Amino acid sequence: MTRMVMATAALSALLLLIGTAAPLHAQHDDPNMEWVMDGPLYDRLGGEEMIMGVIDDFVAAAVDEEPLKGHLKGVDQDAWKETLLAQFTFVSGGEIEYVGSSFKESLAEMGIEEASMETVADQLTIALELNEAWPEDVDELLVALELKEAELTEEEMAEEGMTEGEMEPGSSQDSEAGDAGGEATADSETGDAGDVTVEADSDAGDAGGDAEASETSDAATDDGPRN
């Protein structure tokens, strides 16, 4: 009985260890498909199979989209998809050696200008969402493809604000001048208050002297000879 308990405890510890060491996955709607939640973007998007599904949906939509279809007419879609797969794999951290044009450069070579890049980004976003990509991964791929700018973190925003404050000309000098002006005003007011006090003391002294003189005169009058 004791051996059985010990064996059960050892098995439970082993299963717990295996579960802890296993890679973290995100389960989507398809019970037979798993996406890695950490690691390179390439793995988080689901690898070559899922990225190819994104490309298929993107190309199918792009060739029918009004601002784009005129430039994509007559394009060899299979060859373009192979190029897109290489570009997406490269920028997302997949194991591939790619030295060709970037995604935006290849679109420019087809005649698709910067003004149409928002449409490209919208269609690619839809294709990624159709293939169950996480919103964070969608943004990361769009940034990697230079279709949008990366958002600043709170730390980066704080650092940028500090830099702007340091770069404002004359702010420190104005502050120091203001402090000096305040001190000068305070000193002046204190000096004026001192003058008032002195004058008040002088007046009080005069009043006291007059009172004493009056009392002395009265006393002399009272002590004088009486007829």
Delimit the domains of the chain by residue range.
Answer: 22-155, 177-213
Q: What pLDDT is attached to residue 158? A: 75
- Highest averaged pLDDT of the listed ranges 36-40, 127-131, 192-196, 223-227: 127-131
On average, the pLDDT of the chain sits at 72
Which three-class secondary structure state does DSSP give residue 122?
Answer: helix
**The pLDDT of residue 159:** 72
pLDDT at 168: 46
CA dist 65 and 59 (Å) reads 10
Q: Which residue has the higher pLDDT, 121 or 223?
A: 121
Output the pLDDT for position 129: 97
Enter the tokens of residue 123: 């269609």
Q: For the beta carbon of residue 62, count every other beta carbon within 10 angstroms.
A: 23
Tell me the backbone φ, ψ of residue 26, rounded to 5 degrees.
-110, 125
| pLDDT given for residue 185 in this prediction | 46
Domain 22-155 = CATH 3.30.9.10: no
pLDDT tens-digit readout, 80-99: 999 999 999 999 999 999 99
Most confident of 19-33, 58-72, 152-166, 173-187: 58-72
Question: How high is the pLDDT of residue 101?
Answer: 96
Q: What percentage of the chain has pLDDT greater than the value 90?
A: 47
pLDDT digits (tens, 9 = 90+) for 154-168: 665 677 675 545 444
User: Could you give the CA distance from residue 93 to residue 51 in angstroms, rounded to a whole number?
Assistant: 12
More confident residue, 11 or 165: 11
pLDDT, tens only, 107-160: 999 999 999 999 999 999 999 999 999 999 999 999 999 999 887 656 656 776
